[in-house]
Structure 1
Amino acid sequence: MKKGVRRMVVASMAALCALGASFSTSAYELNPEVKDVTPALREASTVGVWTSENPAMKNAPNKDAILVMTFGTTFKDTRAKTIDAVEKAIHEANPGVPVYEAYTSHIIIDRVKAKEGIQKLTPEEAFAKLKADGYTRVAVVSLDVIPGMEYSYDSIITKMQANNFKKLSLAMPLMYFQGTEGEPDQIVEFLNALKSQIPKMGPHEATLIMAHGTPHPGNAYYSVIQDRLQQLGMNDVFV
């Protein structure tokens, strides 16, 4: 889906704030009456693109890379149309910046290796390689659809690397609407883009969208998606 690829490229550009680019990101501002903003409170109130700078490496040279994190897939044709296509678009949008890749599903990694002889990296392995290759500023792009368990993995492992790099940034997943005032509803944006992919249906026909699901509070997004479908008049589409 071309609009879906474009949305992921936009997410990568948002993450590139870690590489010195200027980009508008979702944000939440603490009440100005809060004077003692502790590190824990600041972390808890972070919404949108997460960025961290390491003062211990402030004099280190800038060497930039992009790391794409994805759940992964064992289907070669699907990989070419989705993951590979998005990574290619990200690379074309950021010429001169190398694009690394990590699969968050360890099961998918094992199956791809057994079936195709291709060794995909875990997020931990990808960060280790970036460090070994001398990169100091890394923009992390998540290809997750919702902020569920896989995105939590992206977030946790990225934050664990804060002391190993000069600057890190983590972009949002495809749908990340947190109810922040003045920010766009990415769920509606996604569904409007999806409309062009849904076939014209008769009075007794419907489209069923199958979702992976996640053992995480982010699973509630699927109920919200169904509500948004009805609000948009897409009453014959179900998740």
Structure 2
Amino acid sequence: MSKKAVLVVSFGTIDIEVLKKSIESAENSFKVAFPEYDVHRAFTSQEVIKKLAEHSDLQVDGVGEALKKLAAAGYTEVHIQPLSIVSDKTYTHSKEYITSLIRSKEKEFKKMTVGRPLLLSLGLKGHPDDYHIAIEAMKTQLPELGSENAVVFMCNGSNQLEYATLQLKLADAGIKNAFVYTAEGYPTFEGVLRQLKEIKAREVVLIPFVLASSEHLLKYLAGDNVDSAKSRLEAAGYKVSVCRTGLGENPAIQAIYVQHLKDALLALEMRHGQRKGPAHA
């Protein structure tokens, strides 16, 4: 019997508690969904891998090293699901690297594919609407929105069209008092401030739109420093509360990543002529 593995790839975190709640929890969902596969972990950040090894007994491989070990262990089928939010530079570089490995390791792995990130497909031409599905999954984390309260999502990254699209998709879903900004680009925090003023909001819930909500990120988002998002909102006169959980802790978000890998596996089967039907990878 051939040995099969799922490699779950994320940026990583050095916060052990957050790792367990978000990344490990997401990995466990793959173990349930793919009982015939062995589930393995890899991080894309070499800095996180190094710091984690220095400050704990956890040893995590990078993607290349993980694949080498799987090949050496006799695995012939390896499928990779990145826990990326969008197709940003990290995801794109990782997929390009993995694609090159797929081509160079054809003799070692008979089957290999990569799932898409959380937000990619727009719901056109028979493809699923990743945004609508993710928004539905996030509703369990949202407070009831009235005329005077709002939700602000902080996205990690810069100038990602996916986050501007997320803002439009939130409006399409009828969630009017929800706004999106990126840490280093567009949509901007200043734009969110203008929109909050326009709707005359009085209370704001800050939600990190990231996989793992680390202490470092929460300090940036809601620390006592004057330039944190929480401090700036309070200075503008808003009552502010903070959601401290990452998306990786949400079972409905975990299920989306699982489905994206299932889509990739179906697409692989169709390319090999094993099955007919819609593929969304």
The TM-score, its normalising length taken from structure 2, stands at 0.58
1:189 aligns with 2:133: yes
For the residues of structure 1 that align with 2:129 and 2:123, how far apart are their CA atoms? 8
Change over 3 Å in CA distance of 1:168–1:214 after alignment to 2:
farther
Q: Aligned to 2:154, what secondary structure does the other structure show?
A: coil
Q: Corresponding residue for 2:98?
A: 158
Match of 1:232 among 173, 176, 184: 173
1:139 aligns with 2:99: no
Q: 2:9 aligns with which of 62, 69, 94?
A: 69
Q: C-alpha distance in 2, partners of 1:63/1:171?
A: 20
Moved more, 95-104 or 199-208: 199-208
Distance, in Å, in 2 between the alignment partners of 1:105 and 1:178 is 29
Q: Which residue of the other structure, out of 27, 30, 35, is the alignment partner of 1:87?
A: 27
Match of 1:113 among 43, 53, 56: 53
Q: Which residue of 2 aligns with 1:200?
A: 144
CA shift for structure 1 position 214: 4.8
Distance in 2, matches of 1:93 and 1:104, equals 23
Equivalent-residue separation in structure 2 for 1:94 and 1:68 (angstroms): 12
Secondary structure at the counterpart of residue 161 of structure 1: helix
Per-residue CA deviation, residues 150-190 of structure 1 (Å, 9 max, x unaligned), is 21133112212223222211111111215641112111111
**1:11 corresponds to:** none
- Counterpart code for 1:203: S
Give runs of ≥4 in structure 1 deviating > 6 Å: none
Q: More displaced, 64-73 or 104-113?
A: 104-113
- Aligned pairs, how many? 176
CA RMSD of aligned residues (A): 1.8
Higher strand residue share: 2
Q: Distance in 2 between matches of 1:144 and 1:159?
A: 16
Distance 1:137 1:89, change over 3 A: same
Counterpart pick for 1:99 among 39, 44, 60: 39
Identity level (%): 30
Report the 3-state secondary structure (helix = DSSP H, G, I; strand = E; otherwise coil) of the residue aligned with 2:61: coil
Following the alignment from structure 2 to structure 1, what is the Cα–Cα distance between the partners of residues 158 and 97?
Answer: 18
Note the residue ranges of structure 1 that are not aligned, 5 or more in a row.
Answer: 1-60
Aligned partner letter, 2:135: L
Larger radius of gyration: 2
TM-score, structure 1 as length reference? 0.68
Q: Give the drift of 1:115.
A: 2.2
- Distance in 2 separating the partners of 1:136 and 1:182: 32
8 Å Cα contact 2:13/2:48 also seen in 1: yes
Q: Aligned match of 2:89 in 110, 134, 149?
A: 149
Q: Higher relative contact order by CA 8 Å / sep ≥ 6: 1 or 2?
A: 1
